[in-house]
Amino acid sequence: MGLSEDPYGAFVRTAPGKLLASRAGLPRPPRLRRFVPDEEWAVDPALVVGLSGAARVDEVTQWLRDSGIAVGRGDGPLSALVVDASGLRTVAELDELLTLAPRFRRTRGRVLVLSAVPADVEDPEGRAVQRGLEGFVRSLAKEARGGTTVNLLRVADGASTALRSAVEFFCSARSAFVDGQPLVVGEGTPAPARERRVAVVTGAAQGIGAATAQVLARSGHHVVCADVAAAGEQLAAVANRVKGSTLHLDVTAPTAPQRLAEHLADRFDGADVVVHNAGITRDRSFVNLDEDAWRSVLAVNLLAPVRLTEELLRHPGALAPGARFVCLSSINGLAGAKGQTNYATSKAGLVGLVEALAAPLAARGFAVNAVAPGFIETPMTAAMPPVPRELGRRTSSLQQGGLPVDVAEAVGWLAQPDAAGVDGQVLRVCGQNLLGA
């Protein structure tokens, strides 16, 4: 059985399973449609709706058309519903959200709400209204059916280029497991064009790292696949598959930061994308946690990204102009998890690293973000006991685990030059996990 298989999910999609689940009131996970090259995803048209004060309907409509999605009047089934609610300023104007119900009912794909950045709205009532849209979106995502996702983009002034990139991502099949999430889109400066863009992915030998290498290669990057020497055979297979190169690197070694920086500077004239993906778990209750289990997890998951980033920023030529950093955090770092005090500490620490680096890196033309996966079907989760594994799959709005490619697609989007307006943020790829923060 492959790691991506969900036996229960597969069973309830059969006729007998569907009948049994319906009668017993059991979850019925929808089949998610993910990105497949050269395959049309948006069979039905999209609809762009502007509420009071909306200013982006025309440009969003054009962006969708340019990306190959037809935009109609919304009389039939919809593949995407985009709502510009950024101009709402009074509680009375929130009544306009009720007009979306018939269109929401016909949407089988993506719902995307555009708002203002609440902190940019000086009027108290206006700020309250814009902040209220997050509650609307999160709740609507929990009511959506058939794999439909609902997300919120908080749009700052001057965010046109970055907003287009975000709209295209959130209205596409690439965002299949991103649900119920708010994200701020600022102005940003697109990275300069380079004939060959270079990405480095740590922990690339398997799971999310291998999938990330595949997605980055698909978008035209030469991928430096880095992992420990013990994973050399797997690493070589991944690098060959993506037509990239390998680098045997123990990220905890004292020499690792300098080795990586020199490799990128001397061989590739700097990296355009750095993905801190390498991570380990040593799960046990806090009272039974020894120093080795505590320190080893922090060393790989947190200290290594700190040290590697510091050296890459210091070493001449290690980074290309407009470089992007993406750190792999976890929803367990945001919400906590029993038996994972070490892991959750390390993953929450990565969020702090992103927040601390955002401003100084932006001043140098770089950007840094975190991606926080929920339950993803990987070798790590396959080794979990059956009951916790099944609970992990079902405790999200989409009622299933995600796949490594779901996380990789989010990383791939944040690595795009045009996504520079998303900076210092955490994007959860969790199907809207129902537990915790």
Q: What are the residue numbers of the active site?
A: 343
DSSP secondary structure letter of residue 38 = T
- The span from the CA of 247 to the CA of 260, in Å, is 8
Q: Which of 327, 199, 365 is nearest to 268 (CA)?
A: 199
Q: What tokens does 424 get?
A: 């210092």
In our burial notation (b when 16+ CB lie closer than 10 A, e otherwise), range 373-393 reads bbbbbbebbeeeeeeebeebb
Is 182 within 8 Å of 426 (Cβ atoms)?
Answer: no
The residues, any chain, with a CB within 8 Å of residue 251's CB and separated by 6 or more, are 202, 226, 278, 300, 304, 305, 308
> How is 323-369 classified by DSSP, letter by letter?
EEEEEE--HHHHH--TT-HHHHHHHHHHHHHHHHHHHHHHHTT-EEE
- The span from the CA of 146 to the CA of 31, in Å, is 7
Give, in degrees to the nearest 5, the angle at Cα 345 between 400 and 256. Answer: 100
Main-chain dihedrals φ then ψ at residue 371, nearest 5 degrees: -115, 130
Q: Which of 228, 237, 306 is nearest to 274 (CA)?
A: 306
- The span from the CA of 266 to the CA of 275, in Å, is 19
